[in-house]
Every structure is written in structure tokens, then in C-alpha cells.
Amino acid sequence: MGCEISTGVYVEEMPAVNDCGLKERPVDPSILFNAQSTSEFSPTFNVADGECALLSAYSTCGGVIQIEKLLFSKPMLPLIEGGSCACDFPVPAPEQQAVMPVCNWTMGDCAQIKHICVPGIYRLHAPIGLIGCLMVTMERVMKGATPIPAGLVFGT
């Protein structure tokens, strides 16, 4: 029996099998919204310690895109001595427990670029009227590697 997870890490081939024997779905975290999007929520993305996510919005058409931080339960992977996975299937997936809009941290016509440097799991929430028109991209960068003007950085 197999189980697929997505770690948010680029995976070259499909499917890739990690140390625990779990198949990983490849992800393309560079596109959060595009013309084919159908949901008002973007895919979730992770910002790890020491890295930042550089977000760029296009075709916002007067709309406002809210950045939200998510809280998930910790996955309960069965571990054996030494920290390796015991791989008892099925492995329960983490569950979303809370969503917090990051106050005053939105994207729109006058705020098309945002830089998130606070570790956590995030997603974007766009008004339904923008879906199919809005384009938002994300680029992962190392913290401090790219100079960003004050006011565009969430976290220092």
C-alpha cells in the first residue's frame, strides 16, 4: 500500500520515493494563481527558517489578495530508533487547525510585490471575481540574499 505526500520541495522525477517509502508528488510552487485557477485559495506553501518567499502579483484588476498563515497538526509518523520512519500505513495526514489573515498584509494594484521571511505555512485568498484572471508567482530565496525595500518584507 502506498501513500503520497507533498513536502513543498522540488522533485525532479515522478514519483520520487523518500526515506520512508512515501511517494512524493512533484510541486511547482512558482505559480500560485494563473488563468487555469478555479479556487479562491492558492496552494499552500512553506517558508522555512533561513529562506523567504518573494511573491509577485499581476492583473489584480483593483482586487485585494489576502495573505493567510495556516496552522496544521503535526503529522504522526511512526519512528523507530535513530529517527527513521517505521512506515506503518496508512500515515495520517496533518489536519488544518486554524487560518489567520496576516493583518494589513495584502497584495493588489499598489502592492504587487511582497517578501515573506517568517517561517510558516501560507496561502493566498483572492476574491472570486479575480479567479481566472489573476496571476501570482512565488520565488524561494535565501534570507538576506536579495535586497528588498522597507515595507515589502514580512519578518526581518
For residue 127, what is the domain's CATH number?
2.60.120
Between 105 and 3, name the one with better pLDDT.
105
Is 13 part of any domain?
A: no
Tens-place pLDDT, residues 114-146: 888 888 889 999 999 999 889 999 988 888 776
How many structural domains is the chain composed of?
Answer: 1
Is 47 part of any domain?
A: yes
Is 105 part of any domain?
A: yes
DSSP track, 73-96: PPP---B-TTS-B--PSSPPPP-E
Is 145 part of any domain?
A: yes
Report the range of poorest mean pLDDT among 39-43, 67-71, 89-93, 119-123. Answer: 89-93
Phi, psi of 80 (to 5 degrees): -110, 180
Is 57 part of any domain?
A: yes
Mean pLDDT score of the chain: 75
Residue 3: pLDDT band (50, 70, 90) is: very low
Is 3 part of any domain?
A: no
Is 21 part of any domain?
A: no
Tens-place pLDDT, residues 81-102: 665 555 555 655 666 667 788 8
Whole-model pTM over 0.85: no
DSSP conformational letter for 43: P
Q: Which domain holds residue 52?
A: 28-75+92-154
Mean pLDDT of 35-60: 89
Is 18 part of any domain?
A: no
β-partners of residue 153 are: 115
Query: For position 10, what pLDDT does the model report?
Result: 47
